[in-house]
Structure 1
């Protein structure tokens, strides 16, 4: 079936040759990421009987995973999934298995667990960025790529909801260390299935990349395209803005989770936390699916600005809720813009990067979101109790609104021509 004759739809995306097999394999491996964090905290706490050690080990794992994500993605771009992804997945699975054995008995050394956690985090295979790069190859029709990215973003978010639920069920019948072993098995199985997909055979690596400029990107100075890092600093405003908005969104959402807990405590209604976070995720899933189904005419950078502003304003206003269950409604409203904003950021990264750097560009967006989330959570802990909660909600939403305003202002500028002059 020709894509050009297929009406843009999610069914058309999944009917594309090799799409289901490739996407299913990536989701299987990425389910590990939804399970590993809670499994690691619970297993470390049971083995060391210390929340401090458990928190430190989890922080070390998260920092190593987030900060080295662009480097790992760059290896994928350079050598391809078959040569780079498989060793990463093997090392990651072995190290998680080592953590499972180390936490299976009481009295485990916190230093040993920290070292294993750092090594495991450093080897985390970038299955998300790889899959988003593969979508551009599997779905060459740009009309369907937006739907593919929306589907990917929504599915990934649901995995991070499903993963902790599976860990909760698992610890009812087994030790938390079994969750680490299960995470290792999932990532290894998913990675093997992914690299065996026929879609991976057509991977365009750096050595096969065309010498011309990246798509959607004018030549700023000279005839050769600048490396990705130089474009980030000088000549890639679209990619820089996607990264900035992603980081600001991560800050807003990471802080929002903590503020919801404080809000529920203030109203002596801890059960409301689950409802608020579920409403945020549910709204994001609905918004992502609807967004992917609409054939937008506005530019991706303009869409990103409005989506980020709407998300920030909704979550800022939610702090004025008179009751936790009013907060549920505001969270659902704000969630409608989360997946669409992230989807658009990934689309911009794909547009701004050439075939040799697409994985790394997507990884920068992902890294910015995760780093923003982690940093904001720590900073928000210092604000709670010192400032009124409505003020805290407004403050944590400010960065994403400001990033939207900046993106909107710059998206209206004309693009430079081949001589570097604006036309």
Structure 2
């Protein structure tokens, strides 16, 4: 990070990432403050779906047309629509219309983080440096997510949670501008990554969802565990809010979310320092979602604040290691022409899983109560871990058969 501009690149992306915490959590809080937990779950999943399904498309556009061309356009579209949503919500208009506009903004969110991940994968001289860069990036990312729910909580107490949407929109524009400013200072190698474009061969590469790299074998091996992990995180955002409202105050959910991200910072620091082999990292990546689910179980039987704080902190410990393990595997799994799309697809799997968990938990809290919601929040990542393990075993068996002497390759 002593190279000119590199620390600035991290700062720029961290500013932009504030939007990823402020906008969805602020939108969620708008409905939670009126005890509309089902509506909160529906809005949350709509936001996550918009962000998730468009992420590979946005990454592909950046790969094909360059970050230099696409990021400013995406940032402008995302901020304008989100500000329009804030205006509707703040003026007391239709909450559904305001939420819809914010969700439309998520369709165009600039993939600044994915671009920076691609830069690290391209400029790192070797695997150890690549891991260190991704680890530092992930720790800082979680640090931002420690801050953003606390900011939302502060705004919630003072002027209202809808102001978090406006603050997030401003962070989107500022972060994108800073990314280009510091990329210039970082030198020609970094600037070349922003200018790089990889037109589809023959001009015929598909643009539909099924042409995304996430549907390839390496893509699924990254997406399924991340999806299961994110389901627990999304369910936790609703169940923690409902638990806080039932036993304490609803805005306490911001503190619990911040503690989860703090756990991610600690876990990322420890993981970055540990000498974890590729084989162990692959196994940990499969089992970390189960750890998150099990760590949430104690809250089903307690109303004590210290238990909730311990659960939030422990459940966040594997957040950053999950992302480090995923992003480090991208250069070994995909060609450089697809780095941005692959990195964006990892985030898409997380967002989709988080939205699904929020929707399921919101429906259960609304119609069945808090305990069934916690039970499902524990069960979903366990099921995803089991599925990931079975898929991994089948893939390993197929590879072994294909590599066996006298066995024809499929």
Per the normalisation by structure 2, the TM-score is: 0.78
| 1:163 aligns to 2:148 (yes or no) | yes
Aligned partners of 2:157, 2:117: CA distance in 1, in Å? 35
8 Å CA contact 1:316–1:397 kept in 2: the answer is no
Aligned partners of 2:297, 2:389: CA distance in 1, in Å? 16
Aligned partners of 2:299, 2:51: CA distance in 1, in Å? 32
Point out the more displaced range, 57-66 or 316-325. Answer: 316-325
Corresponding position of 2:238: 258
Aligned residues: 387
Q: 1:394-409 counterparts in 2 under 5 A? A: 394-406=378-390, 409=393
Deviation at 1:284, TM superposition (A): 1.9
Q: Are the structure 2 counterparts of residues 325 and 136 from structure 1 closer, same or farther at C-alpha, using a change threshold of 3 Å? A: same
| 1:307 aligns to 2:282 (yes or no) | no
Point out the more displaced range, 72-81 or 405-414. Answer: 405-414
Corresponding position of 2:129: 144
8 Å CA contact 2:214–2:345 kept in 1: the answer is no
Q: Are the structure 2 counterparts of residues 302 and 122 from structure 1 closer, same or farther at C-alpha, using a change threshold of 3 Å? A: same
Deviation at 1:285, TM superposition (A): 1.4
| 1:205 aligns to 2:184 (yes or no) | no
Q: Deviations over 1:39-64 (max 9, x none)?
A: 44667999xx9969985666544432
8 Å CA contact 1:242–1:345 kept in 2: the answer is yes
Give 5+ residue unaligned stretches, structure 2. 185-189, 202-208
Structure whose CA Rg is larger: 1
| 1:117 aligns to 2:102 (yes or no) | yes
Aligned partners of 1:323, 1:170: CA distance in 2, in Å? 25
Aligned partners of 1:43, 1:313: CA distance in 2, in Å? 29
Deviation at 1:288, TM superposition (A): 0.9
Q: Between the two structures, name the one with larger relative contact order (CA 8 Å, sep ≥ 6).
A: 2
Give 5+ residue unaligned stretches, structure 1. 1-13, 210-226
Hey, which of these two has a bigger chunk of helix by percent? Answer: 2
Corresponding position of 2:177: 192
Aligned partners of 1:148, 1:51: CA distance in 2, in Å? 41
Q: 1:19-168 counterparts in 2 under 5 A? A: 19-40=6-27, 55=40, 60-106=46-92, 108-109=93-94, 112-113=97-98, 116-168=101-153
Corresponding position of 2:220: 240
Corresponding position of 2:187: none
| 1:229 aligns to 2:211 (yes or no) | yes
Q: Are the structure 2 counterparts of residues 420 and 309 from structure 1 closer, same or farther at C-alpha, using a change threshold of 3 Å? A: farther
Point out the more displaced range, 383-392 or 240-249. Answer: 383-392
Per the normalisation by structure 1, the TM-score is: 0.76
Corresponding position of 2:341: 360
Deviation at 1:86, TM superposition (A): 1.0
Corresponding position of 2:357: 376
